[in-house]
């Protein structure tokens, strides 16, 4: 089976099938906890009576999120090819558009490096490793906080096992992140990877101070995601306490980080995970608001910047 056939099966067969299964499971989550018609009616009432200021806050935090990611990318590029902020932002948005249509958003680096000179593109792709790893470390840290809360609130065997595994995984990730230069030295041990090893030397240029700055921006971005989601679902009747909601939202985003995603099934994955944490546990008073919140945040932070990035792609020359 060649790569083209595998891609067709993944995107046009398994993707829609997985989406259908997830949508059915989401429907089951909602109907088992109450009447879907009643919850939908309550959601519409909250929509009409919702606090417009808070809704606009959620919307306006989306470009703040893009700006923070662009700033993170700009800091990493200082060691490779310094870009003005407007180009770093355009590069980030184009990366999102590439990432959205690829499994687990692995195409993000391909969109970003189009704005770099040809001889800097490989090093730029390597720098995205640091950016993505920083975001993953933060997600794991928040996931641990959420799992600790979950163990106290909902005692059981599996959360404790997952918590131990997450603690070990986070420790390894954080060590590897702060010692990212080890990867460069390891690759240079293989003579056949000499040319690649030369490009990976860029990892040695980042000091721990640089890495901590990038980690700090990743932390701010994660908090913005949490605030957006919690604000939206509570405006529309979820009734989730802010403190416990903060912990459990961190757990939700950690689970989304861990799960593989296909673009066409991404909505289903997000809705199912949100329902698993907030609906199945009975924390949310309105399951429809939780589903709407997960979809709305996905649209704001991924789909809209991806559309903008697609238009920006038309303004650059891919081949120089």
The predicted model gives 170-196 an average pLDDT of 81
Is residue 315 predicted with pLDDT exceeding 80? no
The predicted model gives 133-162 an average pLDDT of 81
23 or 146, which is more confident? 146
pLDDT at 76: 93
Asked if 274 and 291 count as a contact pair (C-beta separation under 8 A), the reply is yes
- Residue (of 173, 171, 203) closest to 185 by Cα position: 203
Is residue 320 predicted with pLDDT exceeding 50? no
- Mean pLDDT (the chain, rounded): 80
CA separation for the pair 38, 113 (Å, rounded):
49
Is residue 22 predicted with pLDDT exceeding 80? no
Percent of the chain beyond pLDDT 70? 77
pLDDT at 90: 92
Asked if 254 and 267 count as a contact pair (C-beta separation under 8 A), the reply is no
Token reading at 303: 């789909």
CA distances from 210 to 80, 149, 207, 219 (A): 14, 32, 5, 14
Is residue 222 predicted with pLDDT exceeding 60? yes
195 or 26, which is more confident? 195
Q: Which of 52-56, 67-71, 196-200, 203-207 has the highest mean pLDDT?
A: 67-71
Q: What is the DSSP string of 205-270?
A: G--HHHHHHHHHHHHHHHHHHHHHHHHHHHHTT----HHHHHHHHHHHHHHHHHS---HHHHHHHH
Place of tokens 């046009």: 12
The ranges assigned to domains in the chain are 37-313
The predicted model gives 111-133 an average pLDDT of 88
DSSP single-letter state for residue 189: T
Is residue 318 predicted with pLDDT exceeding 50? no
pLDDT at 286: 78
- Residue (of 77, 306, 22, 9) closest to 1 by Cα position: 9
pLDDT at 319: 44
Asked if 236 and 292 count as a contact pair (C-beta separation under 8 A), the reply is yes
Report the range of poorest mean pLDDT among 105-114, 150-159, 177-186, 189-198: 150-159
User: Residue 209 — very low, low, confident or very high, per pLDDT cuts 50/70/90?
Assistant: very high
H-type alpha helices, the chain: 3-9, 15-33, 36-49, 52-77, 85-100, 108-112, 121-153, 157-178, 181-187, 194-200, 208-235, 242-258, 263-274, 287-298, 304-313
pLDDT at 196: 77
The predicted model gives 47-73 an average pLDDT of 87
Asked if 313 and 90 count as a contact pair (C-beta separation under 8 A), the reply is no
Asked if 229 and 281 count as a contact pair (C-beta separation under 8 A), the reply is no
83 or 287, which is more confident? 83
pLDDT at 264: 56
pLDDT at 229: 92
User: Residue 35 — very low, low, confident or very high, per pLDDT cuts 50/70/90?
Assistant: low
Sign (positive or negative) of CA dihedral 32, 243, 162, 212: positive
14 or 283, which is more confident? 283
Report the range of poorest mean pLDDT among 181-190, 199-208, 261-270: 261-270
The predicted model gives 255-284 an average pLDDT of 76
User: Residue 11 — very low, low, confident or very high, per pLDDT cuts 50/70/90?
Assistant: low
- Residue (of 39, 124, 20) closest to 79 by Cα position: 124
User: Residue 226 — very low, low, confident or very high, per pLDDT cuts 50/70/90?
Assistant: very high
pLDDT at 314: 75
Cβ neighbour number for residue 65 with a 10 Å cutoff: 19
pLDDT at 30: 56
């Amino acid at each position: 089976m060649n790569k083209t056939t595998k891609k067709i099966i993944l995107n046009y067969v398994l993707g829609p099938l997985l989406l259908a299964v997830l949508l059915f499971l989401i429907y089951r989550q909602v109907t088992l906890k109450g009447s879907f018609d009643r919850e939908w009616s309550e959601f519409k009432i909250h929509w009409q009576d919702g606090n417009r200021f808070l809704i606009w806050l959620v919307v306006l935090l989306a470009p703040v999120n893009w700006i923070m990611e662009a700033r993170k990318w700009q800091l990493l590029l200082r060691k490779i090819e310094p870009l003005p902020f407007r180009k770093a932002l355009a590069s980030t948005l184009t990366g999102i558009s590439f990432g959205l249509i690829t499994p687990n958003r692995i195409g993000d680096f391909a969109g970003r490096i189009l704005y770099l000179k040809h001889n800097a593109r490989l090093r730029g792709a390597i720098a995205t490793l640091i950016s993505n790893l920083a975001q993953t470390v933060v997600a794991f840290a928040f996931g641990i906080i959420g799992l600790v809360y979950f163990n106290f609130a909902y005692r059981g065997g599996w959360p404790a096992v997952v918590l131990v595994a997450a603690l070990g995984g986070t420790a390894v990730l954080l060590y590897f992140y702060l010692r990212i230069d080890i990867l460069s030295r390891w690759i240079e041990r293989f003579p056949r990877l000499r040319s690649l090893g030369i490009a990976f030397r860029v990892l040695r240029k980042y000091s721990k101070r640089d890495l901590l700055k990038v980690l700090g921006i990743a932390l701010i971005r994660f908090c913005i995601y949490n605030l957006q989601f919690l604000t939206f679902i509570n405006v529309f009747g979820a009734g989730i306490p802010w403190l416990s909601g903060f912990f459990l939202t961190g757990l939700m985003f950690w689970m989304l980080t861990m799960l593989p995603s296909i673009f066409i099934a991404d909505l289903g994955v997000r809705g199912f995970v949100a329902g698993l944490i907030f609906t199945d546990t009975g924390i949310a008073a309105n399951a429809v608001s939780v589903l709407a919140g997960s979809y709305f945040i996905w649209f704001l932070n991924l789909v809209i910047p991806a559309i903008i990035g697609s238009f920006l792609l038309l303004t650059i020359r891919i081949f120089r």
